[in-house]
A and B are shown apart, each in its own frame.
Chain A
């Protein structure tokens, strides 16, 4: 395993009267593909949003690249966010912008790259996800799989060191799921990216996971390889990964 790139200590988060994360501690290592499993509503997305400071934890500490995230503001927070990307479950493409504008938005506003380099990066990102023909389309003209691919192109265009994927294959057919998962894997290897992925999808996890954790009731109940997770003796985990139809 490489160096620790994200360090989470005793993280807790609740919403009104519901505790979502309860004293979670976790290390994420450089260039690994960590997959986070868990039933719906067990705090997987909340964990990711706390890590990237979209949500503020009630308690605990998160360090990315050695910097305490809760203390980062202004330029320091901007510098951190330039080094990470996030692929949302819905892809979260900007509705009012074309695919090209979606991709170049951060490059223009934050990275302030010259036009020539922006154009080159847009073409590179779209070619990487195999959708160069969608360059001038609006998000409303794209299918679910295409939106995910464009979301992925937007995530890689800034050449980040860490990408967070929030259910990247949800709602897609098995073939597209496999394609997107292989694409994530390919890009991770080509660009040496650390990735943290939330998924319920075993096909996706089998393709991309180096290591996996399982969240239940706001706590990590398993940490290890996907094979060990799927062979666990824990009745709850056995039930989660049991694909037999219950009579």
Chain B
């Protein structure tokens, strides 16, 4: 009953995962424009995956702005440049920290959730049942979730940026009495659309990564209930890693495009 066994090396598994993830992603681009569009399901996922993430990203956003201001203020004071604190924090938060940290938090909560949910459907044969009912499980489970995460993350990021700027203002107030009008004016003067647009635009890519990686890990889950845990954990690890890699690539691209 035994055939020749194949030993799969780590390198084989790595390239196999990359290949399968690429195929899985291509399937999304083939399917997402085709009906049925499942608008109600997408809205439900946007609520479940996005709106319910507001509390955790609110705390994160506030702490980013607050701590960044607290840490930077003594350094700037040393050079007599504390007046630049609102500008420095706002540019850091809008260009990099807001988008990337929101995406990482979002990956931790949402990619793992998607991975676990779809993996549990795979293990309990619900995906097979859907397929046998002539319903395309990829379209119903994956496409809807990926669209939801892609659309909701930019909104969450803009919200986090605002909360971070509030955190920054409160940190400044603790050391120097500053009026709100002065603070807002300083932030407005420091920021341009060239800061805001690339920062928010890349979160569409991050949102897509969170949705597609979580779905991929769940969709191909094996090994029973243990597989649900593996899918959930590996979804967070892979999506966080890809967010950081794509951040580096997108920053370089936007700098080149802006220079032109």
Interface set of A (CB-CB < 8 Å, partner B)? 14, 16-19, 49, 52, 54, 77-78, 81-82, 84-86, 88-90, 92-95, 105-106, 109-110, 158, 217-218
A84 CB contacts on chain B under 8 angstroms: 132
> Closest Cβ of chain B: how far from A218's Cβ, in Å?
8
Mask, B3-34, CB within 8 Å of A = 1, is: 11110000000000000000000000000000
> Closest Cβ of chain B: how far from A34's Cβ, in Å?
18
B6 CB contacts on chain A under 8 angstroms: 16-17
Q: How many angstroms from the CA of A105 to the CA of B126 in the assembled complex?
A: 13
Q: How many angstroms from the CA of A158 to the CA of B217 in the assembled complex?
A: 32
Nearest-neighbor residue (CB-CB) of A88 within chain B: B125
Contact B126 A95 (CB under 8 A): yes
B55 at the interface (CB under 8 A from A): no
Q: How many angstroms from the CA of A110 to the CA of B1 in the assembled complex?
A: 41
> Closest Cβ of chain A: how far from B218's Cβ, in Å?
14
Nearest-neighbor residue (CB-CB) of A15 within chain B: B3
Contact B133 A17 (CB under 8 A): no
The 13 listed contacts between A and B (C-beta, < 8 Å) are A16-B6, A81-B134, A86-B129, A90-B124, A90-B125, A92-B129, A93-B126, A95-B121, A95-B124, A105-B133, A109-B36, A109-B133, A109-B140
Contact A19 B126 (CB under 8 A): no
Contact B3 A88 (CB under 8 A): no
> Closest Cβ of chain A: how far from B27's Cβ, in Å?
14
Q: A92-B125, A94-B126 given as contacts; is B2 within 8 A of A52 (CB)?
A: no
B128 CB contacts on chain A under 8 angstroms: 49, 54, 86, 88, 92
Q: How many angstroms from the CA of A54 to the CA of B133 in the assembled complex?
A: 12
Contact B133 A81 (CB under 8 A): yes
Contact B3 A14 (CB under 8 A): yes
B135 CB contacts on chain A under 8 angstroms: 105-106, 109-110
Q: How many angstroms from the CA of A95 to the CA of B3 in the assembled complex?
A: 38
Q: How many angstroms from the CA of A81 to the CA of B130 in the assembled complex?
A: 11
Q: A16-B6, A17-B5 given as contacts; is B124 within 8 A of A92 (CB)?
A: yes
Contact B134 A106 (CB under 8 A): yes
Contact B5 A78 (CB under 8 A): no
Q: How many angstroms from the CA of A92 to the CA of B126 in the assembled complex?
A: 5
A105 CB contacts on chain B under 8 angstroms: 133, 135
Nearest-neighbor residue (CB-CB) of A85 within chain B: B132
B131 at the interface (CB under 8 A from A): yes
Q: A17-B5, A109-B36 given as contacts; is B134 within 8 A of A88 (CB)?
A: no
Contact A106 B133 (CB under 8 A): yes
> Closest Cβ of chain A: how far from B239's Cβ, in Å?
22
B121 CB contacts on chain A under 8 angstroms: 94-95
Nearest-neighbor residue (CB-CB) of B120 within chain A: A95
B125 CB contacts on chain A under 8 angstroms: 88-90, 92
